[in-house]
Amino acid sequence: MPAPGSSATTAPRPTPTPLKIPKDLSLIVKYESLEADQKKETYHRGYHGNEIWKPPNVRNAFIRHQTQAMIIRWEGGKATVPSKEDICRKPQMKPHDAATLFVQSESDNFWAVPFDAEKQDVKEHPGGWNVLSFDHERQNGNTNAIYSSISTVGSEPRLAAVGSPDWMPQLLPKEYDYNPARTDDEPAVSAGLIGSLSLLFALPAFSVPPEQLPEVLTGHLRPNKWHRHIRKPGRTSERGMVVTVYYDPRNEQGSHKVHLDELEKGFFGPFYQP
């Protein structure tokens, strides 16, 4: 109890130590352009009898553009383009996860599934093509800050807190932003964006046209953050892509399932900071 005449003081709340991506953590990301083959299957009947475009539900209804494929090595949070010789002389790469995304025809939102849609029938996947969604997860050591964990099967349609202008709407359409008018909860403090690595790496790939992808990924993707650019947007109607994240075959010590799972869960801080 404070002495008479004195004022009680509250000890400052400790601030969590900022988390950083380890310099020895690396992975490989492959981007492949995918197009719906309109001669086989393109349209699906939407709600209320309206025609709402969705990508095909079967694996043989796509055209894969191998010549437009791109590979990056992401090491310590920085992206580089490895030489073809570097990739080819390594053992076969083992995938960590994959996602297929298409831009909707009615908006710049996405349709997505958590696998390569040319290798697995979407019609066999529960729910089929889904819009992006999120799980809201408390940041370790700071109960006031909440991560938005991106997914195709998340429990929430929007971010846990207001998105950063550094990456919204450039990476995520504005419709995913936190909307206080749609919730009775107190506004949360954003801890940033985490979640599926294939989806996190896919977002910047759709921020520019395909030919600008190498320059943008190596120049704007940084440890725990995204540096906004002023280039022409890339979320054009029905544009599709398969994004596959592989373990780095030249870095067995720093590229394994435990590390990449921790990266997805925010163990090293947000992938895109608030």
Higher-pLDDT residue of 232 and 10 is: 232
Q: What percent of the chain has pLDDT over 90?
A: 65
DSSP string, 129-187: SB--EEEEEEETTEEEEEEEEEESS-SBSS-SSPPPTTTTTTTS-GGGS--GGG--SPP
Indicate the average pLDDT of the chain: 85
Query: What is residue 112's predicted lDDT score, i.e. its pLDDT?
Result: 97
- Encode pLDDT of 186-201 as tens digits: 667 899 999 999 999 9
Decide if 20 contacts 78 (C-beta within 8 A).
no
